[in-house]
Structure 1
Amino acid sequence: MNLLKKAKITQLQVVIGLLLSMAARAQTVRGRVTDAASGRPIRGVSIVGLNTQTGTTTDANGSYSLRLSPGSHTLRYSFVGYETRSEPVQIQDETTVSINISLTESRASLNEVIVVGSRAQTARTNIQTPVPVDVIGSKELKAYAQTDLSQILNYAAPSFSSNRQTVSDGTDHIDPASLRGLGPDQVLVLVNGKRRHTTALVNINGTFGRGTVGTDLNAIPVAAIERIEVLRDGAAAQYGSDAIAGVINVVLKKETPWAASLQYGQHASHTLGRHFNDGATTQFDLSKGFRIGRRGSISFGAQYLDRGATNRGGIDTRPLLYSNLPTRGANESETDFGTRYRVLKADDDARAQAAGLDRNNMRVGNAAVRNLGFLVNGAFGIEKTAEVYFQTGFTDKQGKAAGFYRLPSQSTQVDLTLYPNGFLPFIHTGVQDLSASAGLRGLAGGWHYDLSNTFGQNRIRFDITNTVNASLPTGTSPTEFYAGTLRFAQNTINADVSKRHEAGGILTALNTAFGAEFRIDSYEIQAGDELSYSFGQPSQGIEGRKIGTAFTAAGAQVFPGFKPANALTKSRNNQGLYADLEAEFGPRFLLGVAGRYENYSDFGHNFSYKATGRFTVYKAISIRGAVATGFRAPSLHQRFFNNESTQFVNNVPRQILTVNNDNGIVRQFGVGSLKPELATSYSLGLAGQLGKTVTFTVDAYEIAIKDRIVFSSQFVRETAPTGTVNTILNTVDPNQQINSVQFFTNAISTRTQGLDVVLTDRIRIARNSLTLSAAANFNQTKVTQIKGSSTLETNPDLRARLFDRTEQSRFESSVPKSKINLSGGLTTGKWDFLIRALRFGEVTFLSTTDPFTTDGKPRIVDGVPYPTENDQTFSAKWVTDLTVTYRFLKTVSATLGATNLFDVYPDRAYLNPRNSETNLTGDPATRYSGNLDNTSNGRFLYSRTVTQFGFNGRFLFGRINLTF
């Protein structure tokens, strides 16, 4: 035993000796990096030894220290907004080398090495890439007034669009996002170049992105981000499924000094004669990067966000709150009916006043949320040319969103013994997001290699409060329910190799890259408590109650829980192989090709390709373009999600059944299994530099997608008992409590065309710096084909319900058709000023009911034409942001600012004149009717179906920034 201990001690001594020997031979390069014009130190400059994989960053004083082994090295100094500089250095034993560097502000808009879109080792800026890439650096991220990543991108990248939703269940807490007008699931998100998992939530509510599964960008703390790269081009041939519209790559910080910021703000707005001071938001960010040993570093970024709810809801226009609307008797005159109606209303108003029931009974705006998250990023050198790296993070988000108010008159949905005045139910959404990635990368035999494993999981728990299961005996229902949990997990293994081959003659260099990927996806639905979904309580022999002949609503009002029949665990795997070649023909011509083969266990294989090119036509001006095919695999959520929910359609509550794609009900509609979406895209652009300071990029694109997966419109029960939908639903719902059914299917083809323009100018006046930029996106999507099954195509009524006018407008016009971003930033002395004006283009909503019949005549409802005003276009608006920063010290600064400085709101939603609580006439063609517009009885003053920039108005904030 003693011999064994001695042997272990001896081995340890040998290892320590070797490490000390290596450390002794490694020598130090020290120095300072400053701004060439002002002489101020630059914090966060990246210094990399190009042939050793060794790197570091500068501290708050611009100082750095880097350990290198003896020999010849080349150091590259790079920072967003500055020209990259390379310096040779010779390291000898027992020497310390001092290198001070001055960086010059870039004449390009952003002169950072771009990672996404190419596997070549050559450093390129955004005007040198063959496809368009936007870069948003950490300096810009800190300058924005927005608090979370999706909103920052919404204001920073014109081709990106994302808005918070309201009264849409879990979607209130996970913002749907669009790139180039396409869906949330058609943009791929990477973190440090590795695939990021999507959420567990599929959006089934009436908002943009309905039927899609996106990535929760707000689960990534902004404090951990060094820069964001937005590739605006199809890249499925390089990165696989989902990258039809493009790729967002989030690059994490490395070795950085301590940085902390504390921000507080709230909305201070005025609209419709009311003042609003709500949505109080507190945010705390903290980040730090540490040097570990000779060639190691570890950094972390953490964020805490507490955002209060906002409410821009209108006044309920229903004449009666406690009782149903009266009907005119057969022998009753209009005058007598009107008199009786007014008496009923007077009694109803008096009762509401006595009980304190406010007609402003909804909460229409941002949900309340608390978000705490962190990300850790690290790397450790293990050989001269190899390193182990990792990143891991966790975010916990707790949200509280409101649903539709249940009035006491809605007898089948309330229990008057518990809520005599009705109730506003709440959905509590607990989102836990976990990610972890680790790998080994280095250089061997001239080949760069990267082996990695990436895991991600998103888990969403639903708890419903201030609600009731109305089917239970009166007075016995709980008011809080656990409604179930969704979980999605993804594990990805990657192996990538690449090498740059120098050549002579016409071909001067060839970069070759090859790789393989193996990915496993899993999706899970966990059932809620019995009372969250049950009709009565079957386990205790308690039958569901009726009111007269009407069944009361089953499960928790606003969000019935997942039943055991909904519960499932499904998984799949896929294997991918790719090759990526990029050839340089002298300094003026670049040509690239890529191909990727993937095989999925659930639907089969796909091959995608891409070709890119860039040709310098004059000095720094180049033509660039690409042609590509792409695909998006149907998500497990779209294949298997199933549940029952309560939704309000034209003010009428519906119990809606969502069935998964493998369900027999779907087959009765003649719909087959889901297959992948297939895309073909083209882009052509011009990029370059004019004079010494102006850079520009102009890129046109077209994206054609066939077999797009849609979430069908609702197939509602017909009046005739023998109708097709009735016959199908009665097989699973003999009590006929379910009003309609919906499902996922490959039903449409679309064509998207657009233009991106970016123009920047950086002006130096003495020691003052002025940066001007103008960027714009013009975009149009058209549905080119709607195709159902043979069963649906032969039934005009069913075919119309497959993909109705409202669903079509979600694809074609719910995202602004244009967005223009004008900004100016001035740095003078200790002051920084940033002003930005964004023009959000028009959006259009089409109502489900066409105001005209198929022969072009007005559609008559209740004896009068159906209003054409329900088809509404909301005009373009300018929104202005302003921030002012003062630096007290090098390490302390303060920022004051405003988003939506001039308190701009979108156009009001159309309110039909008959939708008024005072409209009590006896004539059925003119008296009150709340289902003739899209305001839900006047409570939605602004459209929640199509959004441009939200409707919360002005937001004022202050922020303290520290670095030390």
Structure 2
Amino acid sequence: MPLTHLSRPARAFPLSTLATAVLLASAGLAHADDSSTSADPQLKTVTVTTSATAARAQQRTITDSSAPIDIISNEALTRTGRAELSEAIAKLLPSFNFGSNIAGYNSTTRPLSFRGLGPEYTLVLVNGKRRHDGAAIQSGSIDNSGANVVDIDMIPVSSVDHIEVLKDAAAARYGSDAVAGVVNIVLKSQDSGGHVESSYGKLFSGQGATKKIAADEGFKLGDGGFLHLSADARKRDYASWDGKADSTVKAYNDPIKQASWDRVAIKNGDPELKAFNLGYNAELPLNDVTLYSFGTYGQRKAVIQNYYRFPNGTASVPDIYPNGYYPLNNLKDTDYQFVFGGKGEVAGWGYDLSTSYGRDTLHYSSDLNLNPSLGDASPTHFGNLATFRSDQWVNNLDFTRRFENPFNLGVPVTVSTGVEHKWERFSTFAGEADSYEAGSYPAAVGAQASVIIRPQDEVDLIRNTYATYLDLGFDLTSRWYADVAARVEHFDDYSGDKLGLKFNSRYKLTDTVAVRGTLGTGVRAPSLTQGGYTTTDSRVNTDANGNVVPATTRLTAADSSLAKALGGSALKPEKSQNAGLGLTWQPDPLTAVTADAYLVDIQNRIALTSAIYDNGNGVVNSILASQGVAAGTWVDYYTNAFDTRTRGLDVVADHTTPFAQYGDVRWSLGFNYNKTTIQDAKDTPASLASSGVVLVGRNREGDLTDATPKTKWILGANWKVGNWNSNLTTTRYGSVSTLAVNPSGDRSFGAKWITDLDVSYTFFDHLTVSLGGSNILDVRPDKNAVYSSLGLAPYGNPPFYPGGGSWYTKVAYDF
């Protein structure tokens, strides 16, 4: 039967200098004992078999594992209303936060922060196999890491059986990007039956109407195999919560037109969205080998609104748009991944051999736009502004075996070992010349409100990574389990092998109480985008006081001559150390409580510099001139900006109360405390500091220390009685702050409670009708952002959706 293991490295971690030692150790153990008896249940922190999937997926938190693990069922995911997969996870787990990115073209891919660490520190698996990175670069709102990370919203929710979340730094076991933990998305594997659903809803404001349809069905495949197909599609209308421009803003020189203007100067917010996702999961036993394959394919199209280009401004051509215009930024995102493999047993060793290929392509175009410098000759449609592409090919070979008494140690040992090769590529492709050429008309240069790749900014970045791991699990006594792991990675663009180590243990103090803990280290190489992505745009940036102002900004590579002239240098890998200590309590089958404290130190943490621009004394302009860059250009680059320490506590409690004929109520509580502090920061070069430039300012520190809540509570009650099912959840997001380079620009936003409700009734055992609402009390964040005369983002960057409450209705049929 198919197995998905989150408790051992389900990845193949490629061959480097440790490979010989791993294979020798494995060979030695192979002669010690031929037993292949199943490991004690505590070794299987999350082991899902076909027959046990349903039961395991109903657990909220796992008490019999040596590491903290949460489970999210498909039922819980679908009760989160209008949320997509990434936002649904944040609604259900207190250690996750979902950013509200309203930064124009970035607003379709939003950061998912785990334990206060950015998305680049969380490894995402599907059926235990690495998910490929997306092509979008994390830049804007509270995430300015520059990493390109997994976009899980391209996985159909209808294909998900449940999600397993390992809340433990696991870089030494699963990969260098598993600093915060691991998310394993387990796909449905039923060989019969299916589910169809349709839903509709909108915001209380009347905006953002959302339609969804989804279906999945299982089929028998051969003798003992299965094929499960899934699909979903969704459409979401535009929604905005920006304010209106104040009386100081003059859009027209003509007083009559000015008086009749509706004062809508900004349309940032949720873009209009159309998307579909397809998925399959299959297994076929053939003699002694089980072949398997799974994959997804998705497309997402977005129409992104932007700032109003005033008819009397430098971005207009009156002969084309006499009343100004709102440029539309169009995005087409195409994403797919396919995995093929086989598993079985040879010479007493269980093996798993697989290959995986994934690609994500973002293509930008624009309508109702101009390159103002071309005057009357400017196109109003740009079919090609920029293309971003991320590719990843991963080959894995894993072995595992349990020995009852190897080398006469007197204790059972489970051995897992493997190798992996990962090839990854990030490429950008230039847009059409009309989008960036400078014409003779006296106006702004370049297609407006757009990300544009010029030929000189194109990149084609490739990396090969080779790794190997060895993991040994010891059943020291009936109450005590210990695990040690070592992993070596070699990145072909960095010298030397990178070693990660981990020790993990669990001890049962009583039949109901256990203590568990972890110590570990890891090394993470910079993302390809952090090391080499470059672009120039003519949109807006944030000045030292937190004000959003027009700016031509050049993002340059960290080791470019321009960056070096402004204090930059080649990026170094990030190093991490982690420690965890937890308690579990399960007094009966209906009650489970876990509490886990953690500490994660990261050295050489990568972040975007603060904007470097001339403040009027000519120092920066002089440096720009020496590099052939136009005076007045703003510059930033990625740098090893900080050493940080993250401390936190996760508490999860789950209890079911039977009320006889009145049904059962399942109570749940989740709490997370998380605090990140800056231990060290990169200094500003003396040549820049003397002119008042701050290389890595308080705004970048604030992204890490204050932009996400330090506390988050999730309280829930699920009441099932007869055919009725009611689910009530309320979440408290702690206060957050936005810091500016100049403290006068700092802003704070208070804590808020957000309440969600879902009520459903099932007819004839198959047809379920649901009515629900997200944020049913219509709570909004505090209006305390830096004042904008245009009405921009009055709520700042809150940790929850700023558009207010919404309602939805859903009809589902199970067969």
Whether TM exceeds 0.5 here: the answer is yes
User: Are 1:173 and 2:24 matched, yes or no?
Assistant: no
Residues 793, 799 of structure 1: 8 Å contact kept: no
Residues 134, 229 of structure 1: 8 Å contact kept: yes
Percent identity for Structure 1 against Structure 2: 28
Distance 1:958 1:803 in 2: 47
Partner of 2:449: 558
Residues 109, 761 of structure 1: 8 Å contact kept: no
Partner of 1:54: none
Structure 1 residues 231-250: aligned runs within 5 Å: 231-250=166-185
Distance 1:417 1:592 in 2: 72
Quick one: which of 96, 99, 119 aligns to 1:163? 99
Partner of 1:400: 303
Quick one: which of 693, 711, 720 aligns to 2:608? 711
Partner of 1:262: 198
Distance 1:608 1:793, change over 3 A: farther
Partner of 1:679: 576
Residues 752, 782 of structure 1: 8 Å contact kept: yes
Partner of 2:772: 897
Distance 1:962 1:686 in 2: 41
Cα distance, 1:936 vs structure 2: 5.3
Cα distance, 1:811 vs structure 2: 1.0
Partner of 1:363: 267
Once the two structures are superposed, what CA deviation does each residue of 1:765-795 show, in whole Å capped at 9, x if it has no partner? 3252210010110111111211147xx1564
Quick one: which of 603, 627, 632 aligns to 2:494? 603
Cα distance, 1:401 vs structure 2: 1.2
Once the two structures are superposed, what CA deviation does each residue of 1:676-732 show, in whole Å capped at 9, x if it has no partner? 1111011000012134532100000111101011111111024233x1x21232245
Residues 109, 760 of structure 1: 8 Å contact kept: no
Distance 1:909 1:421 in 2: 32
Residues 195, 215 of structure 2: 8 Å contact kept: yes
Q: Secondary structure at the match of 2:147?
A: coil
Whichever residue aligns with residue 788 of structure 2, its letter is T
Distance 2:801 2:736 in 1: 12
* Bigger Cα displacement from structure 2, 370-379 vs 196-205: 196-205
Distance 1:318 1:49, change over 3 A: closer
Cα distance, 1:111 vs structure 2: 4.4
Distance 1:733 1:422, change over 3 A: farther
* Bigger Cα displacement from structure 2, 428-437 vs 202-211: 202-211
Quick one: which of 636, 649, 657 aligns to 1:755? 649
Distance 1:762 1:223, change over 3 A: same
Q: Which has the higher contact order (CA 8 A, sep 6+)?
A: 2
Structure 1 residues 785-864: aligned runs within 5 Å: 785-788=680-683, 792-793=685-686, 795-797=688-690, 801-851=694-744
Residues 211, 235 of structure 2: 8 Å contact kept: yes
Whichever residue aligns with residue 306 of structure 1, its letter is K
Residues 200, 637 of structure 1: 8 Å contact kept: no
User: Are 1:694 and 2:591 matched, yes or no?
Assistant: yes
Partner of 1:462: 364
Partner of 2:133: 198
Once the two structures are superposed, what CA deviation does each residue of 1:921-947 show, in whole Å capped at 9, x if it has no partner? xxxxxxxxxxxx34353332211xx32
Partner of 2:790: 937
Cα distance, 1:480 vs structure 2: 3.3
* Bigger Cα displacement from structure 2, 247-256 vs 764-773: 764-773
Whichever residue aligns with residue 530 of structure 1, its letter is A
Distance 2:691 2:193 in 1: 62
Structure 1 residues 131-142: aligned runs within 5 Å: 131-142=67-78
Residues 481, 532 of structure 1: 8 Å contact kept: no
Q: Secondary structure at the match of 2:372?
A: coil
Q: Secondary structure at the match of 2:704?
A: helix
Quick one: which of 312, 335, 338 aligns to 1:436? 338
Distance 2:524 2:737 in 1: 27
Quick one: which of 671, 678, 681 aligns to 1:783? 678
User: Are 1:617 and 2:519 matched, yes or no?
Assistant: no
Cα distance, 1:85 vs structure 2: 13
User: Are 1:503 and 2:503 matched, yes or no?
Assistant: no
Distance 1:502 1:288, change over 3 A: same
Partner of 1:919: none
Residues 389, 439 of structure 1: 8 Å contact kept: yes
Distance 1:518 1:560, change over 3 A: closer
Cα distance, 1:664 vs structure 2: 1.3
Quick one: which of 224, 233, 236 aligns to 1:304? 233
Q: Secondary structure at the match of 1:471?
A: helix
Partner of 1:666: 563
Distance 2:308 2:478 in 1: 65
Distance 1:200 1:531 in 2: 24
Partner of 1:958: 809
Cα distance, 1:204 vs structure 2: 2.9
Cα distance, 1:555 vs structure 2: 1.2
Cα distance, 1:523 vs structure 2: 1.1
Once the two structures are superposed, what CA deviation does each residue of 1:384-430 show, in whole Å capped at 9, x if it has no partner? x420111111100001112222222322x221222222221121111
Paired residues in the alignment total 771
Distance 1:48 1:658, change over 3 A: closer
Distance 1:846 1:635 in 2: 26
* Bigger Cα displacement from structure 2, 249-258 vs 312-321: 312-321
Quick one: which of 478, 490, 499 aligns to 2:392? 490
Unpaired runs of 5+ residues, structure 1, are 1-45, 51-73, 88-100, 113-124, 269-275, 324-346, 537-543, 547-551, 852-869, 911-932
Structure 1 residues 108-187: aligned runs within 5 Å: 110-111=58-59, 126-169=62-105, 171-187=106-122
Once the two structures are superposed, what CA deviation does each residue of 1:123-164 show, in whole Å capped at 9, x if it has no partner? xx7111111111111222233324310111011111011134
Cα distance, 1:507 vs structure 2: 4.4
Residues 188, 248 of structure 1: 8 Å contact kept: yes
Distance 2:584 2:72 in 1: 18
Question: What's the TM-score once normalised by structure 1's chain length?
Answer: 0.76
User: Are 1:525 and 2:425 matched, yes or no?
Assistant: no
Partner of 1:642: 534
Once the two structures are superposed, what CA deviation does each residue of 1:428-470 show, in whole Å capped at 9, x if it has no partner? 1111111011111111222110011111111000012211101
Structure 1 residues 22-171: aligned runs within 5 Å: 110-111=58-59, 126-169=62-105, 171=106
Partner of 1:67: none
User: Are 1:584 and 2:520 matched, yes or no?
Assistant: no
Q: Secondary structure at the match of 2:743?
A: coil
User: Are 1:251 and 2:186 matched, yes or no?
Assistant: yes
Q: Secondary structure at the match of 2:526?
A: coil
Q: Secondary structure at the match of 1:279?
A: coil
Residues 554, 560 of structure 1: 8 Å contact kept: no
User: Are 1:473 and 2:375 matched, yes or no?
Assistant: yes
Residues 624, 630 of structure 2: 8 Å contact kept: no
* Bigger Cα displacement from structure 2, 614-623 vs 474-483: 474-483
Distance 1:872 1:204 in 2: 20
Distance 1:49 1:404 in 2: 48
Once the two structures are superposed, what CA deviation does each residue of 1:882-921 show, in whole Å capped at 9, x if it has no partner? 11110011111111100101111111125xxxxxxxxxxx
Q: Secondary structure at the match of 1:434?
A: strand
Residues 484, 527 of structure 1: 8 Å contact kept: yes
Distance 1:199 1:731 in 2: 36
Distance 1:679 1:251 in 2: 28
Distance 2:356 2:4 in 1: 26
* Bigger Cα displacement from structure 2, 678-687 vs 808-817: 808-817
Distance 2:84 2:349 in 1: 39
Distance 1:381 1:495 in 2: 19
Distance 1:798 1:196 in 2: 45
Once the two structures are superposed, what CA deviation does each residue of 1:553-575 show, in whole Å capped at 9, x if it has no partner? 22101115211111232211010
Q: Secondary structure at the match of 1:223?
A: helix
Cα distance, 1:474 vs structure 2: 3.6
